[in-house]
Each structure stands twice: as C-alpha cells, then as structure tokens.
Amino acid sequence: MRVELEAAYVLHARAYRETSLLLEAFSLQHGRVGLVARGVRGARSRTRALLQPFQPVLLSWRGGGELATLSGVEAAGPALALQGERLLGGLYANELLLTLVARDDAQPALFAHYQALCAALAAGTPIEVALRVFERDLLDALGYRLLLAQAADGSPLQAALRYRYVADEGAHPASGVDDGVPVAGASLLALGRGELADAAARADAKRLLRAQLERLLNGRRLRTRELARALLGGARGEPATSSIPEGAHRR
Amino acid sequence: MEALRCLPGVGPKSASRMAFHLVERDRVGAERLAHALLAAAEGVRHCRRCRNLSEAELCSVCADPARDASLLCVVETPADVLAIEQATGFRGQYFVLMGRLSPLDGIGPSELGLDRLEARLDEGQVRELILATNPTVEGEATAHYLAMLARERGIRSTRIAHGVPMGGELEYIDGGTLAHAFSGRREV
C-alpha cells in the first residue's frame, strides 16, 4: 500500500536503532498508524524537526501491517509552540489517542477535533476547557457519546436541577438513583455547548468525563496524568488544580 | 569476530575486517584495546554528584575546586556534557539526567531519579539552573518540570537558546527552528 502526502500529526516518536525513529502518527484518512522513519536522526537530517508532536505534516509511507516505512514528510503549517502546562495538556491528548484509538481505524471527525484542540491550546483557550471539549468529542468518536441535551427519560435537561449521570443511560434526576456521577444540569448543558465558563461547571465536567474515560481505560494508567500530578504536588504555592483529570484524588 | 559485533553499526563484514587487522597487523593495538576495554568495563561508574560517567567516585568536573558550584547545567546524556565542555567556556557544574521525562514511554520524575537533583538544589549552593535538555517535545517538558522545581526554591532557571545554526542559510532551515529563532530575537 502506498499513501502519498496524507495530513497527519506525529503523536509520539522514539529512537530506533542508530539513526531511525519509530513513529506513532494520527492521520486523517488512515487513523493511527505506526511508521518507521529510517536515517532521520543523523546530524544532517532535515526532516527531524518535522517529526515532532504538534507539527502539522503531510506524510507519505508505503507498506502495511504493523509498521509501514515513512517515505516522505513535508510541513503542513507552522509547528505549534506549546509550552509548560499547555505542552503537558497536548501530551495528555496524545496519550489518550495512543491508548484508546486502535491502529488503522480511520477517524476523520476525531482528527478534526484533535486539530481543533491543538489550535485551542496554542491560541490560549483555558487548558481545562480545551481538554474537556476534546475528551467529550473523543468519547463521541469512540461510540460513547454523552447525552448532554436530554435526560435519560428523553425530557430536556433543566439547568436548575441536579442530576446523576449514569454511563450508557444518561442523566437521571438526582433524587431517583444512587449510582452515577452527580452533576448540575447547568454543567451538562455547558459541556454540550463547549463553554465551561465557571469553576463549578469545570469541576463537574472533569468528574463526569474522568469517570467515563476510566471505564474505557479499564485500569490502565495515564502517565501524563501522573506527571501533571507530580508537577502540581511538587510545586507548592501553585494553585492546586490540574487541568488534566487525575486518576485518584490527592490528599 | 562475534565479540566485535556488539558495537553499533558493526555487521559481520566489518567485524571480520577489524578482527583480521588486529590479529595480523596490530597486536600491540589489540592488547591496548583489550586493556582499555577491561579497565573501562570494571572501573567506569556514575559520578556520585552529577551522575556523569567517571572512573572515580567524583568526576573531574565535580572534583575541581575552580568550577563554580552556583551554576548548574542540566543535560540529558554524558555525550552532552562532552559537547558543552569542548565547545563552550562553561565553568559551572553539571547534572546528567541520563534520559528525559517521557510520559508516553513511562519515564516520569521518579524513573529519572529527579530526587537527586532536588536534593542538590536543596543544598542551597545553586544560584542558576541552566536547562540544556534537547529541543524536542520531551526535552521541553523536562525543562518545564525542572524550571518549576527551581522556582519553588527561588532559584533562577534559564533555558539555552534555539536558533539558526552557524554558517546556515535561512532558506534551508525548517520552519519550527526559524520560528523559534525569530521569537527569541534580541536587541543588538
């Protein structure tokens, strides 16, 4: 199989043998692919800088199966200058894609959401909001769409009511059930619109999305989460809120 | 011949050429090589202070009283120390990470042994932490993490500049590097 100039992002690159890289890339038409880039780590390599995460690229490759061979790379736009916590947020999204999206499963809609996330992180959208919206869209693309306009019984969600969100069913009025994630109606509606303006909505959205992602992760640990936690745990005096949902509560 | 193949980039053909050369033409060189390898394999370890490779408990940089202990340069590998020593007039000390933070490969702060660096910073001698990790995504994440450790202790941290290589031509430079060079421009 030959693929020419396919829009893609490198999610992760690791050194392979003396001068090569093993890449995990996320492409528009072919989903997540594993590629080996031969001879790109040398001192004279011109392509090394392009094979970094958060750089939109056009990739060409040939071969199929587990690992295809990269045959060309061109820049498709300027690299996103993500720094500090924004960089960690981007790495977190990459880890989610690496963990939850299967290889060779075309996800054009998810690709667009990932692109939007990268743009939002680079543009200075609050990191928490950008990540929550991406998590919502990721669940949607994987077939676990959250119901954010209607309650489980089909009636419209009321902003003023409290609900409990039960996986696979939707939001039940808080008085009716014991399980599920407690959330405010206003928070569910805000997440649906992608505008998490106040702290309460952000906290609700984080808890809700974390619970849903935990089900898909099935006990697997996210290392970027742990790094973000170590960073915030270590940096005393910093506000102790991570935009990346943590696996377990601290304290 | 089989033993030589443990070297990177040495296949059966090169291994046999090296073996014949050593045995037929340069027995003295072969013995020197054998002694040097044995001494290195037995004697080289990590410096207690900076974790660079060293034959003694303390490497020559850490043991040198003329080096400025208030400047601490953090690099990823021993090869980076060598490159900086050869190319710059840096007179401070080093800390070698022996890797970089790479959460997607499962390498976090504890796997890197950053507690050793924190202990070094807590000693109170360091005034400036120079972050010389590679300009890759993982290197940047590592630099950010280390900068937070330094800030927490009121230590100034600086990041090495990235830009156009000497003798280079702008036309042939990749966009990312050029963008970095542009945003990091300074007054002349």
HEC string of chain A equals CEEEEEEEEEEEEEEECCCEEEEEEEECCCEEEEEEECCCCCCCCCCHHHCCECCCEEEEEECCCCCEEEEEEEECCCCCCCCHHHHHHHHHHHHHHHHHCCECCCCHHHHHHHHHHHHHHHHCCCHHHHHHHHHHHHHHHCCCCCCCCECCCCCECCCCCEEEEECCCEEEECCCCCCCEEEEHHHHHHHHHCCCCCHHHHHHHHHHHHHHHHHHHCCCCCHHHHHHHHHHHHCCCCCCCCCCCCCCCCC
Cβ-Cβ contacts under 8 Å for B52 (sequence gap 6 or more)? B46, B59, B61, B62, B78, B81, B94, B96
CATH architecture of A2-75: Beta Barrel (2.40)
Contact of A110 with A30, CB cutoff 8 Å: no
Task: State how far residue A168 is from chain B, nearest Cα, in angstroms.
Answer: 30
Q: Do A52 and B179 touch (CB under 8 A)?
A: no
Domain encompassing residue B81: 68-159
pLDDT at A246: 47
Which of A87, A224, A230 is opposite residue B109, by nearest beta carbon? A230
The reply to whether B115 and B38 lie within a common domain is no
Structural domain includes residue B80: yes
* pLDDT over 70 (residue A248): no
Looking at the structure, do residues B72 and B38 belong to the same domain, yes or no?
Answer: no
Kindly report which listed range (A86-95, A238-247, B24-33, B154-163) carries the lowest average pLDDT score: A238-247
In a domain, B183, yes or no: no
Residue B28 C-alpha, separation from nearest chain A C-alpha, in angstroms? 30
Q: Is a pLDDT exceeding 60 seen at residue B142? A: yes
Asked if B150 and B91 sit in the same domain, the reply is yes
| Cβ contacts of A76 on chain B, cutoff 8 Å | none
Smallest CA–CA distance from A76 into chain B, residue: B175
Helix axes A185-193, A199-217, angle to 10 degrees: 80
Q: Which chain B residue has its CA at the smallest distance from A11's CA?
A: B104
The complex's ipTM? Answer: 0.81
**Which of B14, B121, B137 is most worth mutating to test chain A (most A CB atoms within 10 A of its CB)?**
B137
Q: Are B136 and B162 in contact (CB under 8 A)?
A: no
Q: Are residues B91 and B12 in the same domain?
A: no
Domain assignment present for B127:
yes
Instruction: Indicate the pLDDT class of residue A153, thresholds 50, 70 and 90.
Output: confident
Contact assignment for A46 to B103 by CB distance below 8 Å: no
Are B77 and B144 members of one domain? Answer: yes
The size of the A-B interface in CB pairs under 8 A is 80
CATH of A82-251, one of 1.20.1440.120, 1.10.3720.10, 1.20.1740.10, 3.40.50.2300: 1.20.1440.120
Q: Do residues B100 and B151 share a domain? A: yes
The shortest C-alpha distance from B64 to chain A (Å) reads: 32
Are residues B92 and B32 part of one domain?
A: no
Instruction: Determine the distance in angstroms separating the CA of A184 from the nearest CA of chain B, rounded to an integer.
Output: 34
pLDDT level of residue A240 (50, 70, 90 thresholds): very low
Tell me the percentage of chain A whose pLDDT exceeds 70: 92
Domain count, chain B: 2
Q: B152 to chain A nearest CA, in Å?
A: 6
Q: What is the pLDDT of residue A11?
A: 95
Q: Is residue B92 part of a domain?
A: yes
In-domain check, residue B180: no
Facing B104 at nearest CB: one of A78, A81, A95: A95
Best residue of A11, A44, A85, A91 to probe chain B, by most B CBs closer than 10 Å = A91
Residue A7 has pLDDT above 70, yes or no: yes
The string of pLDDT tens digits covering residues A166-211 is 988 889 888 877 888 999 999 999 999 988 988 999 999 999 999 9
Q: Where are the domains of chain A?
A: 2-75, 82-251
The chain A residue lying nearest B152, using CA atoms, is A235
pLDDT for the residue numbered A33:
94
- The CATH number of the domain where B84 resides is what? 3.40.1360.10
How does pLDDT run across B39-78, given as a tens digit for each residue?
A: 999 999 999 889 999 988 899 999 999 999 999 999 999 9
Mean pLDDT of B116-137: 93
Residue A243's pLDDT band (boundaries 50, 70, 90)? low
Task: Give the torsion sign (CA, A16, A219, A94, A225).
Answer: negative
pLDDT, position B95:
95
| Residues B94, B28 share a domain | no
Q: What is the percentage of chain B residues whose pLDDT exceeds 70?
A: 100
Q: Do A75 and B179 touch (CB under 8 A)?
A: no
Task: Answer whether residue B59 is part of any domain.
Answer: no
Chain B residues inside the 8 Å CB shell of A93 = none
Has residue B97 been placed in a domain? yes
Query: Hey, are the CB atoms on A226 and B140 less than 8 Å from each other?
Result: no
For residue B137, the distance in angstroms to the closest alpha carbon of chain A comes to 7
The full DSSP string for chain B is -TGGGGSTT--HHHHHHHHHIIIII-HHHHHHHHHHHHHHHHH-EE-TTT--EESSSS-HHHH-TTSEEEEEEEESSHHHHHHHHHHS---EEEEE-SS--BGGGTB-HHHHTHHHHHHHHHTS--SEEEE---SSHHHHHHHHHHHHHHHHTT-EEEE----PPTT--GGGS-HHHHHHHHHT----
Residue A237 has pLDDT above 60, yes or no: no
Q: Using 50, 70 and 90 to split pLDDT, how confident is the model at A64?
A: confident
Looking at the complex, report in whole angstroms how far the Cα of residue A109 sits from the nearest Cα belonging to chain B. Answer: 24
Distance CA B177, CA B182 (A): 9
Q: Do B104 and A223 touch (CB under 8 A)?
A: yes
pLDDT tens digits, one per residue of B75-88? 999 999 999 999 99
Are the beta carbons of B137 and A50 separated by less than 8 Å? Answer: no
Residues in chain A whose Cβ is within 8 Å of chain B: 11-12, 14, 18, 46, 49-50, 52-55, 75, 78-79, 81, 83-85, 87-88, 91, 94-95, 98, 223-224, 226-227, 230-231, 234-238
